[in-house]
Structure 1
Amino acid sequence: MRAISPPWAGLVSGCALLCMACTAQADDAYRFTLLEENDSLYADSDRHYTQGLRLSVLTPVIAAQDGWNDAFDLVYAAGGSASVRRVGLFLGQSIFTPEDKVLPQPDPRDRPYGAWLYAGASLLQETDRRMLENLELSVGLVGPGALGRQTQNDYHQFIGVAEAHGWKNGLQTEPGVMLTYERLWRLSVLGDADNGMDIVPQLGATIGNIFTYAGGGALLRVGKNLRGDYGPARIRPGLSGTDYFDSDRLDGALGFYFFAGAQGRAVGHNIFLDGNSFRQSPSVDKNIFVGDIQAGFSLFWSNDFHMTVSAVRRSREFEGQNSPDLIGTAALGFSW
Structure 2
Amino acid sequence: MKQATTAGRAATLLNGLASGILAALGIFGFASAAGAEEGGRLTLIEENDSIVFPTDRYYTQGFAFAYLTGDVDGDSIWDSPFSGLESLGAFGTPEAESSRRYEFIFGQSIFTPEDTDRSNPDPDDRPYAGWLYGGIGFIQDTDRRQLDHLELLVGIVGPGAQARPAQNDWHQFIGVADAEGWDYQLDNEPGVMLSYGRKWRFIQPLAGGFAVDAIPELGVTAGNVMTYGEAGGILRFGRNLEADYGAPRIRPALSGTSYFNGDYLEDPFGFYVWIGAQGRAVARNIFLDGNTFEDSRDVDKEILVGDISGGVALFWDRSIRLDAGFTYRTQEFEGQDDEAKFANVNLSIGF
Measured against the shorter chain, the TM-score band is: over 0.9
- 1:232-263 per-residue CA deviation (whole Å, 9 max, x = no partner) reads 01101010241111100010111100000000
**TM-score, with normalisation over the residues of structure 1?**
0.95
In structure 1, the residue matched to 2:160 is 145
Which residue type is aligned with residue 55 of structure 1? F
Q: 1:44 aligns with which of 27, 49, 54?
A: 54
Local SS of the residue matching 2:242: helix
Local SS of the residue matching 2:164: helix
Q: Aligned pair 1:240/2:255, yes or no?
A: yes
- 1:211-244 per-residue CA deviation (whole Å, 9 max, x = no partner) reads 1000010010000000000000110101024111
Matches within 5 A, 1:144-163: 144-163=159-178
In structure 2, the residue matched to 1:327 is 342
**TM-score, with normalisation over the residues of structure 2?**
0.91
Q: Aligned pair 1:288/2:298, yes or no?
A: no
Once the 2 structures are TM-superposed, how far is the Cα of residue 20 of structure 1 from its aligned partner?
1.6
Which residue type is aligned with residue 184 of structure 1? K
8 Å contact 1:7–1:151 — kept in the other structure? Answer: no
In structure 2, the residue matched to 1:94 is 109
Q: 1:8 aligns with which of 10, 17, 39?
A: 17
Which residue type is aligned with residue 162 of structure 2? L
- 1:15-47 per-residue CA deviation (whole Å, 9 max, x = no partner) reads 232132134667611100000000001111100
8 Å contact 2:250–2:256 — kept in the other structure? Answer: no
Once the 2 structures are TM-superposed, how far is the Cα of residue 104 of structure 1 from its aligned partner?
1.4
Q: Structure 1's 150 and 39: CA in aligned 2 closer, same or farther, altered over 3 A?
A: same
Q: Aligned pair 1:106/2:101, yes or no?
A: no
Q: Aligned pair 1:278/2:287, yes or no?
A: no
In structure 2, the residue matched to 1:217 is 232
Which residue type is aligned with residue 66 of structure 1? S
Structure 2, unpaired ranges of 5+? 1-12, 88-92
Q: Aligned pair 1:34/2:57, yes or no?
A: no
Once the 2 structures are TM-superposed, how far is the Cα of residue 5 of structure 1 from its aligned partner?
7.1
In structure 1, the residue matched to 2:316 is 301
Q: 1:54 aligns with which of 64, 67, 72?
A: 64
Which residue type is aligned with residue 56 of structure 2? D
Q: Structure 1's 81 and 199: CA in aligned 2 closer, same or farther, altered over 3 A?
A: closer
Local SS of the residue matching 1:125: strand
Deviates more, 1:281-290 or 1:161-170: 161-170
Structure 1, unpaired ranges of 5+? none
Once the 2 structures are TM-superposed, how far is the Cα of residue 303 of structure 1 from its aligned partner?
1.4
Counterpart CA distance in 2 for 1:255 and 1:20 is 30
8 Å contact 1:119–1:138 — kept in the other structure? Answer: yes
Which residue type is aligned with residue 104 of structure 1? S
Counterpart CA distance in 2 for 1:277 and 1:26 is 40
Local SS of the residue matching 2:170: helix
Local SS of the residue matching 2:82: helix
Once the 2 structures are TM-superposed, how far is the Cα of residue 308 of structure 1 from its aligned partner?
0.1
Counterpart CA distance in 1 for 2:193 and 2:138 is 14
Q: Structure 1's 83 and 232: CA in aligned 2 closer, same or farther, altered over 3 A?
A: same
- Runs of 4+ that moved beyond 6 A: none
The structure with the greater share of residues assigned to helix is 2
8 Å contact 1:184–1:202 — kept in the other structure? Answer: yes
8 Å contact 2:40–2:68 — kept in the other structure? Answer: yes
